[in-house]
Structures are given as C-alpha cells and as structure tokens.
Amino acid sequence: MILPALLCVITLSSMRLNAEILVSDPANKSASFLFNVDLQGEYLPTGRLFVTAPQALKGNTFAVAAVYHNSQVFQGLTPETVTLDGMLSLPNPLYGAAIERAALLGAQFVVITRTDPSSLFLVDDQNSTVAVYSAHGIRDALKKRATSFLNMTTNATTVFSSLDSQAQRIAFVAVSNGAGRFDGEGSGIAVLFFKRFETKDKKSFFAWDSIDAVTGDSQYSKEGILENTGNKAFPFGKTSPELFITTPAITVEAVTDMYFDRDLGMLYITLQAQGAAGTDDGVRGLILASCRNGKLQLQAIAPDSVFGKDAIVGGRGSSTAVSLYKVRTMQTRTYLRYAVIVGGVGESTDLKRQVSALPLVDNLASSAHGGLASVNSIPATIFLGGTLGRFGGRVYAVPAANPSDVYTSTSSQARVGGLIPLPGAISDIVVHDEAVFVSVEQADEGLQPGIFYSQPLFDTEGRISGWTNWQRVAGTGNPVRRFFYNPYRATFEYLAVGAKNSTQSVFRTAFTDGSDPLGLFIAAEFPQVQGGVQGLFDFPVTTQSFSTVTGKRLAVQAYGGYKKVVLLQTGKDSSGLFGPLQAEPTVYTSTNGMLGDVSDTTAFSFSGGVLDTLGPLSSSVVLTDGTNGWFVVGGSGGVALLADDQGRGWDAKRGLENGFKGLSSGMKWHSIQNIADVRKLIAFEGRLFILTDDKLLRCEVTADRIATDSVSSTVIASSALLG
C-alpha cells in the first residue's frame, strides 16, 4: 500500500551570481560604451581593468580606458594633450586612435595603433597628468621598418613594479616580414626594454630601447644618446630549427599567442604551421625563448626525437599541420609546472575546443629548462641548504627524449575538461593557480556559451592524473569574447558579445546582498547538528539517460545528508539554448521516501522509508541499463535507488526531461544492497560499482531484479583478497 506523502511546495530564488555593468557614462547604463571595445588586461594588485577601442573615433578620450575594482565607471586615458616622451602638453598620438594590440607592463599599459604598425606606446597615468612614451621605427630581422605586428606580450603582465624601480620591463613583439607573414625573410621577435637612462650631466629620463635581439646592442650610448645601433628583431620563421623537424616547414600561418612566465624566465610562443612533405618531416607549434643580457635565444620545446605523429604541440608526418591558439603556464599545489595549451596537431576547427596540460622541466641548470618534461619521470624534491634541510619545492627535472615520454591528444592526464566537451570554440583562457578557466563566444546549436572551468586530479607522486569535467562558472550564459578572473576578490570581468557582433558592454560579477534563499533552504534541509551536506553531485545535461531533445533537456544536482537526499534541477533550455535554471523552482518534500503527484516540480526533498536505514548519504550516481534510468544513493547503511514497484525508473530512451518529467507517482526508494560503509558509487556501462572500506563490488541492476529484491553483487576486489 502506498501511503500519501507529505507535500510541501516552496518557492525560492535560484542560486545566482549577479553581474553589474561597468560604464563610461554614469548616466547611461544600457552599455559600457557607445562603440566597440576590446578587453585587454587586469592589473591584479590594484584590481584595475583595461579596455581599448579597435576603431578610430575623432576626439575619443577612451581609446584606452581603465576602471578600478571599487568603481563601476571607466576613466579615459587618452586626453588630447599629454606629456609625450618627457615633453609637457604635446598632442597625444593615442587621442582618438584605433588600438590594434595591447598588453600590461606592470602597472602601465603598452599599445600598438592600427595606423602606425612600426611604433609602440606606453601609457602611464600614475601621476597627475598622463604620460606617453613612444618607440618609433621598430625594425624587423632584416633591419627594415616593420610593416605589421602579429602579437605582443611583456614580462610583467601581473606583477607590481613602479617606474622608479630597477626591475626590467621588456616588451616582446612578433613582427612580420614585408609580405605581412611570419615565414622568415625578415619576420622575427623584436625586443624592447623600457628603462631609465642618465645623461652626462646626471639628468635622467625614461625611454624605450629597441635592442638588437641577436647581439643585445642598445639604441643608446652609455651617456643616454640615441644612436643608429640596436633595433633589430631576432630572426624567426619556417627555417628556424626550433620550429621544423628534419626539413624546413612549408609555412607559418600565424603567431597566435605569446606568454611570459616570470618564474621560469621563459617566453612561450604558439603558432599555426605546416611541416614539409617528407614522411619524417614535422613541425612544432610551441616555441620557447629566453632573454639574457638583452640577447634573445630561441629553444625547441622538445628535441626532434620526441615527436611521433601526435605530441599535441607538434607532430611528424607528411605535411603535418599544427594549430595552437593559446598558451599559459601553471604551478600545481604539488609544486609542479605545466604548460596549458589550446589546440593540437591538425587543422580541424574542433582543436579550438581542445585544452591540454603538459609537464615542464623546471631546472635552470638544464638546457631543457622550460621545455617538455618526461611524463614517466618521478618529480625531484628540492631541499634548501642548512642544517635543517628546509623543503624548497618539487620539480620535473628529466626532459622528454622519445615519443613515449610525452602525452598525445588521447591521454586523459593531459585532457583538461575531462570527458565533457565544451559547447563551442574557446575565445579566451585564464589560468589561476591550478584552475583552468575558458570562455566560449559562439556555442553549437542548442547549447549555451559562457565561462567554464576544470581542475586537475593527482596521483601518488603529485603528478596530474586527470581533470574534472568542464563546469560552468560566473553565472552567465552570454557569449563571452574575453574575460579575466580576480582571485583576490573572487570576481570575473568579461566582455559580452551583443547583437550584430557588437562588443560594447563589460560586466563584473558581484555577490548578491542579503539572504540566499537556496542556501537557507539547503541549510534547513541539512542542519549542522546532523552533519550538514555529506556530498554534492552534479549530473550535467550530457548525463546518459537524460533527454537530448532541445527544449526538454535538464541538468540536476544531488545533495546527500543524514538519511536524506535532495534532487535539484539546475539547468534547462531557454530560447533553444541550454543554461542555468532561471525560474524559481518548486520543492516537493516527501517524508516517507515515496512520490505522489510530481507535476511541475523542479526539486525534491526525500527522507523516510528505506532512506532511514542508509545513515549519512555520501555518494550518488545516475545509472541506466539502456531501458530505464535511476537515481542511486549510497551511505553508511547501504545503497538505494528510485523506482516504481515494477523496478522501473524513467524511460532511458526518451530521457528524463525538464521538470523531472519521466518520474511518476508511486515511485519510491528501494534498498538494493545492505552493505556497510559505502564510500563511492560508480555507474559504468550499465553496471553499478560500489566501493566500501574494504571491498569493491559489481552489481547487475535490472527492473525485474529491483522488483523482486534480487539485485546481487560480486566482489571483484577486497582487502582480504589482496592480503
């Protein structure tokens, strides 16, 4: 006999992370600007965010603009007159200019304009008036005036240093050849130092010094006099041995990204390139560079012997193409360093969704410092000198030497984001500590863009052994072109893409004021005196046996506690796009572990019935045999699943739908295993695996076995069997 359940309907607000618009005119909050902008950088020590205007606009004082973390109003940094190269009140070359490229240099900002492709400018507004410092006539590797800059970064994109400090400030610029390509014949990396000079009469001034990147020669004499020396890019192109394998490459299509790691002291450069036609030919898409005493030195990411058909950052084979788009570096909590790469071997557009993490050698005494480390090596532990032998860190010290020493695109250890694919191509990437964040601007049909993150899992040696699946963050389903994460304030700033591909609005996430209804609800359901929430489990839209029909899809979270489980719908379709649930859910509360009328319900709170025998619920999975789908929970007293009296769950072929359509009146929690101390449940290929304190069991679950209480288990491993 099915007893009527106690039904309680509660309305509450979804958990949201609000976003506030940042504006240039406080009187107009419909958009940040009346023109398109590019989001260019955030100086973390002061939480200052920079944007630039990609098109020339007469009289525009916001060609470069910035906003502090404690303000919502951008300030223009390009007035009509500035202190230009130390001279007061001169016309500002950036006033109304179109900014092509930009990068932070400490607290200052470096830009390249669209109309002057051989010049570079630094903007400094730390004093009462804006100062601009210019470098004109930057030359390529043939010492000809550069025709275009393909990419730029600096050695100080996050750290604090004032202009008065003696810290080196370096800009690295990828310059094209006369044909606008990076194939050689003039293409290369220009190196510019921004530093203080002193004249014979002891007067000092700041200026850019475009050095000869091969010899390290300066443009200035020791007395601070500008001379016709220096100013030459380091040659780099398809004939560079650090790039090609066996035979010079056919072409280098683009320099897609540049990133400087201050701790390693290495510049990482990503490329799109194609190798020569021989079967033993190949190409690398990731190149290293170091700068010592003003001299740039290129370095192969790994020797030729490492590369087989697919090493992610390079490959070997006839006309092999490598398409890398972004590069960052990270240091894990286990002190090991990795390169984080977007792209891989090939030319498929799907490579823009592929993120890989590759271990790096961290050994200044090694010629392979900064290059690929052997994935088979055991990290070395460093102890500092002294009688106490203090711990100094852990590093990869053994470089990769052959194909078995590196990951491929199928290696789970390297696959950031786990098994869940992103909804579209990556538009930007941010790495903080060991968290990898990416944004998607244009999602596939029926999916929603936004910002997502993944974190690593580790083996017993502290090496990355896998990655969590991509999860949505920042509370936005908007198309995002660029974004930044501020770890000091736990906020995201992002540039949203609007109608007709417009980029006029910048948003900053903000925590809501006052109470959080959902948080209060969960806290009430799982009081601290009973241990609170024992486990939180996320079942995304891609969960097997969930509906795949656009308009009917859902995502679910399961909360487990003492003799209780809450199932909460967290995602649904809206206007054909899947994203966070925005409507206020209704909560069905059952105190006897059974379902009554469940129409229009988006959350369930279950207690009573067989759940009373399970104790604290610490694990939950979705299980399917291809015909039925079931929610399964496990705790200290055993395992139970949600089904009707015939053992049926929802129709797995149709899929569980929005609003939990597929669950029916009369379903209840069935005990299927009276096993003590369940620690983990895993659903795999229609089977249920149960991990306890001392054994691992496999269960064959069917509706008939549930209905007849005959679900059996097989011990496949135990502490007793292992001795």
Residue 310 to residue 346: CA distance in whole angstroms: 9
CA within 13 Å, CB half, 402: 2
The residue assigned the tokens 């939950």 is: 620
Tokens at 196, concatenated: 């203080």
- As beta bridge partners, residue 498 has none
- As beta bridge partners, residue 472 has 452
pLDDT at position 151: 96
CA torsion angle 612 613 618 623 (round to 10): -100
- What are the Cα distances from residue 453, in Å, to 165, 421, 558, 699? 36, 12, 20, 33
pLDDT at position 9: 37
Is 171:192 a contact under the CB 8 Å cutoff? Answer: yes
Residue 133: CB atoms within 10 A of its CB come to 21
pLDDT at position 181: 85
Is 382:453 a contact under the CB 8 Å cutoff? Answer: no
- As beta bridge partners, residue 657 has 661
AA identity, residue 687: R
What is the rounded radius of gyration, in angstroms, for the C-alpha atoms of the chain? Answer: 29
Residue 407 burial (10 A CB sphere; 0-12, 13-18, 19+): buried
User: What DSSP string describes 459-508?
Assistant: -TTS-EEEEPBPEEETT--S-EEEEEEETTTTEEEEEE--GGG---EEEE
Tokens at 164, concatenated: 């008065």
- The 10s digit of each residue's pLDDT in 312-361 is 999 999 999 999 999 999 999 999 999 999 999 999 999 999 999 999 99
The residue assigned the tokens 């400490």 is: 106
The residue assigned the tokens 């209840």 is: 668
AA identity, residue 320: T
Residue 630 to residue 497: CA distance in whole angstroms: 39
Residues 6+ positions from 5 with CB-CB distance below 8 Å: 589, 590, 591, 592, 594, 595, 596
Using alpha carbons, select from 112, 108, 115, 114 the residue that is nearest to residue 130: 108
- The 10s digit of each residue's pLDDT in 666-722 is 999 999 988 889 999 999 999 999 999 999 999 999 999 999 999 999 999 988 776
DSSP conformation class of 615: -
Using alpha carbons, select from 248, 369, 359, 360 the residue that is nearest to residue 297: 369
Is 95:78 a contact under the CB 8 Å cutoff? Answer: yes
Tokens at 262, concatenated: 């201050």
Q: Which residues of the chain have pLDDT under 70?
A: 1-17, 158-167, 386-387, 511-517, 575-576, 582-584, 722-723
Residue extents of the structural domains in the chain? 78-237, 238-425+461-473, 517-718
Distance from the Cα of residue 704 to its chain's centroid: 45
Using alpha carbons, select from 662, 556, 677 the residue that is nearest to residue 599: 662
pTM of the entire structure? 0.80
- As beta bridge partners, residue 656 has 546
Residue 486 to residue 95: CA distance in whole angstroms: 29
What φ, ψ does residue 352 adopt, rounded to 5°? Answer: -75, -5
